[in-house]
Amino acid sequence: MSNPRISLIHPTSNPFSRNAAIALAQAGWLQEVITTMAYNPEGAIGQVLKRFPPSIRNPITHELKRRTWIPPHGVPIRTYPWREVLRMAMVKSGVSWRIGLGHQGLIDWVYASLDHHVANHHLHGIDSVYAYEDGAACTFQAAKQSGILCLYDLPIPFYRTSRAIQAEEAERFPELAPALQAIQEPAWKIERKEQEAELADHIVVASSMTQKSLLDRGVQPEKITVIPYGAPIDYFQPQPKPDPCFRALFVGRVGPRKGVHYLLQAWQELQLPGAELLLVGVNEFPEGWLAEYTHIFRYVPSVPHCSLQKYYSAASVFVFPSLVEGFGLVLLEAMACGIPVITTINTAGCNIITDGGDGFIIPIRDVNTLKEKLEWCYEHPQELAEMGKAARHKAEQLTWENYRQKLTNQVRQCLFNY
């Protein structure tokens, strides 16, 4: 296939979709990027916002920065923002909950709507589409009818695995069931996920955990490629720790899927003198559930991504005890800051961490092993500091440039074998 043309579709902006776009553009293949909103701080909207007083400009800019996407030079970016703007307004105002849609229902609506639009209006004159979970079913169906190659990027484990693990957790902790999203997904959404995996010509995943979830579903091994994400080594860098306190840090959605309740149990039982547990992120536990533990940890709600460096730099060890994860980018952020990691086998830890070298990998739900590793970190500050140096060294090897090169090679193979 000479001079292939690929459209990349993702409803929002995140590091892996932006880097995939860069990889395809550098190869000369990217026809266009299709998304809902793409904020450019130096663009027209950014210039207009500068004229507003800070009280108005700052909160708007804060929201828009989460959706920053500056496409590669010479590549058009097609945006369809009105549904995303409406979603944001309904969530912020509380209307979404009052009408029973909650937070996830509107996200599903935005993803499915963009998928329908792409299927009807963006498949002319291209050879391949590169799309993501929950936003590809209609696009792939239409693409197949036109002989267009369907490349699928699955950032998280296939839903069957996620649902099974979270269903087990709901049985163990019935009071946490409302916070376990995978067991509540509607039938129409599950059907879309099945269609996407079935229609995809090739699937790119970021971890062996996600690869296994697809193999368990019956996807053929040759249809799957594992390419771990890159570490933001320029954005996050080691800095001097501001105090001598032993501090265990968690960053992410503070909820049961991330295994935070096991971390709280372990920390409560350890009672390490002079130590601190710090949780940073949106609280996803049922209302009031964390109240029982508020005396043993410090909590910081969601903060801008640019502010995370100071929290990583203040940590002694990063703890990410997730039950099911495709790839926790926070792992590489912590490692880029020179912070060793404790994480589970159900994250990308097995793909990026040398157990006992730059971090520790433990089973899910294993409070005793988690306590053992935390206590070792507490009692061995010098060895822990060496592990932190090794973590930074590992992060420097796992760059986004490597990710883009591997992705380009795999897409080239798919294109020219199609």
Picking from 165, 176, 185, the residue whose alpha carbon sits closest to that of residue 107 is 185
User: Is this prediction's pTM over 0.75?
Assistant: yes
CB 388 within 8 A of CB 338: yes
Structure tokens at 78: 């097609």
- pLDDT for 100 equals 74
- pLDDT for 317 equals 98
Phi, psi of 88 (to 5 degrees): -60, -40
- pLDDT for 381 equals 95
Query: How would DSSP label each residue in 313-359?
Result: HT-SEEEE--SS-S--HHHHHHHHTT--EEEETTSTHHHH--BTTTE
Which residues 6+ apart lie within 8 Å of 173 measured at CB? 256, 261
Place of tokens 């800095």: 239
Which residues 6+ apart lie within 8 Å of 305 measured at CB? none
Show pLDDT as tens, one digit a residue, over the chain (418 residues).
668 999 999 998 889 999 999 999 999 999 999 999 988 777 777 777 777 787 777 777 777 777 888 888 889 999 998 898 888 888 878 888 787 777 777 888 999 999 999 999 999 999 999 999 999 999 999 999 999 999 999 999 999 999 999 999 999 999 999 999 888 889 999 999 999 999 999 999 999 999 999 999 999 999 999 999 999 999 999 999 999 999 999 999 999 999 999 999 999 999 999 999 999 999 999 999 998 899 999 999 988 787 899 999 999 999 999 999 999 999 999 999 999 999 999 999 999 999 999 999 999 999 999 999 999 999 999 999 999 999 999 999 999 999 999 999 999 999 988 8
Place of tokens 């594992």: 226
Give all domains of the chain, ordered by start, each with its CATH number.
Answer: 6-230+400-416 (3.40.50.2000), 247-397 (3.40.50.2000)
Query: How would DSSP label each residue in 33-95?
Result: EEES--B-TTSHHHHHHTTS-HHHHHHHHHHHHTTB--PPTT--EEE--HHHHHHHHHHHHTH
Structure tokens at 46: 């950014």
Place of tokens 């940590």: 315
Residue 345, CA distances (Å) to 38, 158, 210, 264, 328 in order? 35, 16, 12, 19, 12
Residues 387-411 pLDDT 10s: 999 999 999 999 999 999 999 999 9
For residues 219 and 216, what is the distance between their CA atoms, to the nearest angstrom?
Answer: 7
CB 214 within 8 A of CB 162: no
Residue 133, CA distances (Å) to 10, 17, 111, 326 in order? 9, 12, 9, 12
CA Rg value for the chain: 22
- pLDDT for 1 equals 61
Q: With DSSP H G I counted as helix, E B as strand and the rest as coil, what are the percentages for the chain, rounded to 5?
A: 50, 15, 35
